[in-house]
Amino acid sequence: MGRLGDTLVAAGVIDEAQLRDALKATARTGQRLGEALVAAGRCTEQAIAGALAEQLGLPQATAADLAAPADGVRTLIGATFARVRQVVPLR
């Protein structure tokens, strides 16, 4: 798995100078790289999500992919478990 900044540069979302600036901002503010890039207006949250999905070899889920859980799922996975484990039902 590559590094987020390298993935964004390779995809042409940001350039090397923007990456360096964002890395300096993370050291100064304690933000994560993606947060610093979005806060600086260098890229979107969607671009960050896409790069992370690519790194992990997973498809990127969008709001359209979210579904209301079926009753059976609600019985199997309780609300507390879903909240703590950040479980999200997908179509």
DSSP 16-30: HHHHHHHHHHHHHH-
Q: What percent of the chain has pLDDT over 70?
A: 98
Q: What is the pLDDT of residues 27-52, one digit of tens each?
A: 999 999 999 999 999 999 999 999 99
66: left (phi over 0), alpha (psi -120 to 50) or beta: beta
CA torsion sign for 49, 53, 58, 60 is positive
